[in-house]
Amino acid sequence: MPELLSPESYYRATAGATDYPRLSGIQEAEVCIIGGGFAGLATACALMERGRNDVVLLESQHVGFGASGRNGGFVFGGFSLGERGLVDTVGVEEGRKLYRLTLDAVEQIRRRIERYGIDCDASHAGIYLANWFDDDSILDAQQRFMADSLGVDWKRVSRDELVDKLDSRRYFGGLFEENAFHFHPLKYAQGLARALDAGGVRVHENSRVAGIAREGAHWRVKTAQGEVRAKEVVICCGGYIEKLYPRLAGAILPIATYVMVTEPLGERLPTAMRTGAAVYDTRFAFDYYRPLADSRILWGGRISVRDRSPADVARLLFGDMMKVYPQLAGTRVDYAWSGMMSYGRHKMPQLGRLPEGLWYGMGFGGHGVGPTTLAGDVLAAAICGDGVTLDRFAPWGLPSTGGPAGLVAAQLTYWYYELRDWLRQ
């Protein structure tokens, strides 16, 4: 590994920069969206596709700055709560309907990539769930549960079949999700922003919101150099909400995850991976990784309540990769970074409208690409008068996460499950 890693993430280095103007002066709009990540972009896109393009989108940094431009790039169904947790909470019938919404969101992403000509390195090679434990009953139970409870067919992959794809002694068979895919998330976010700009939505970067206030029938959203007067305001800020709106900030935990990218492996790549599919495993504290078009491997994992330096991230994740693919010893790590995700206490997306009239979409941590797209469609429909689907998320609400104590509890919980995984293996 190099002593000095690139100061940029792989995504930033390969996507290039965006250059939308800073908000200045006074603007009026039907809808003001705060946050230029997947949820904010998807909400604006869904409104535009409904013929409602009198929209201003404000991003404090650059489009895709937060978790949306730093994640693993997995596009598949489900929520952070997990399939069993979903069914345990709402029952089989409602759980199946909610899960189906996330599968529809995956197809919505595919449609938008095609419709707007977004070059985001999409690889439609599916995703493997690889069994970390020498226990076939884990896969048997998961496959049966997905089919019986959620109506989803995950293909069983034997140990011999999987080792042909993933040359590792660490795995004991797997399940294959054929309709899932993976992509370059920052390029996708930037592609959505270009589509919005072309469709008449006003996108502003470097426009941190300093205040939100009600003024009669409208809202005033202030930045350092301007303000937006809008009938509706949607807050989609996730792990970077900070103190923007305390009622919302108190309902999420900003949790960090880590990602690294190797040097181009060339002919060494098939000594480890002989598939274009992405991979994650059956542990609670799982690895997730995927091959990139230039023969690199992107590797992510771990959860923490704090950011780490790129060098620390690279050291930790390189060690994780060696546990799976020791044959890649000596591989250089070119990029490493961390990013803050937002988790609600219940691990479900937080979608709704506050009593004072503000709309919100956040809490997608750990499984956000599909659900953020779902959130945009649901929020746009509600703003346009159809709140039926939005009401299905109301039971989870905005319970307090407990502030600093909640962060400590989250870290301890992760360590507990990490220890349990270690003891189980």
Q: What is the pLDDT of residues 53-108, one digit of tens each?
A: 999 999 999 999 999 999 999 999 999 999 999 999 999 999 999 999 999 999 99
Tell me whether residue 305 is in a domain: no
| 278 has pLDDT over 70 | yes
Strands 253-262 and 74-75: what pairing? unpaired
| 410 has pLDDT over 60 | no
Tell me whether residue 24 is in a domain: yes
Per-residue pLDDT band for 405 (boundaries 50, 70, 90) equals low
| 421 has pLDDT over 60 | no
Tell me whether residue 401 is in a domain: yes
Q: What is the pLDDT of residue 2?
A: 46
Q: Give me the torsion for CA of 33, 35, 37, 40, rounded to 10°.
A: -20
Tell me whether residue 225 is in a domain: yes
Tell me whether residue 111 is in a domain: no
Give strand pairing partners of 281. Answer: 130
| 415 has pLDDT over 60 | no
- Extract the tokens encoding 194: 């270009």
Nearest-5° Cα angle at 259, 303 to 9: 135
Domain containing 375 equals 10-71+186-252+345-413
Residue type at position 336: A
Rounded-to-integer distance, Cα 337 and Cα 212, Å: 32
| 417 has pLDDT over 80 | no
| 304 has pLDDT over 90 | no
Q: What is the pLDDT of residue 423?
A: 59
**pLDDT tens digit string along 314-352?**
999 999 999 999 999 999 999 999 988 888 889 999 999
Rounded-to-integer distance, Cα 68 and Cα 75, Å: 12
Nearest-5° Cα angle at 303, 299 to 306: 110
Most distant CA pair in the chain: distance in Å? 67
Average pLDDT in the 217-225 region?
A: 95
Tell me whether residue 167 is in a domain: no
Nearest-5° Cα angle at 109, 105 to 112: 130
What total number of domains does the chain contain? 1
Tell me whether residue 311 is in a domain: no
- CB atoms near residue 293 (< 10 Å): 10
Tell me whether residue 326 is in a domain: no
Identify the CATH number of the domain in which residue 198 sits.
3.50.50.60
pLDDT mean across residues, the chain: 92
Q: Give me the torsion for CA of 330, 333, 338, 339, rounded to 10°.
A: -130
Q: Is residue 261 within 8 Å of residue 317, measured between CB atoms? A: no
Q: What is the pLDDT of residue 416?
A: 45
Per-residue pLDDT band for 302 (boundaries 50, 70, 90) equals confident
Percent of the chain with pLDDT over 70: 93
**pLDDT tens digit string along 179-196?**
999 999 999 999 999 999
**pLDDT tens digit string along 132-153?**
999 999 999 999 999 999 999 9
**pLDDT tens digit string along 226-271?**
999 999 999 999 877 877 888 888 888 888 889 999 999 999 999 9
Burial degree of 26 (CB within 10 A; 0-12, 13-18, 19+): exposed
- Rounded to two decimals, the pTM is 0.94
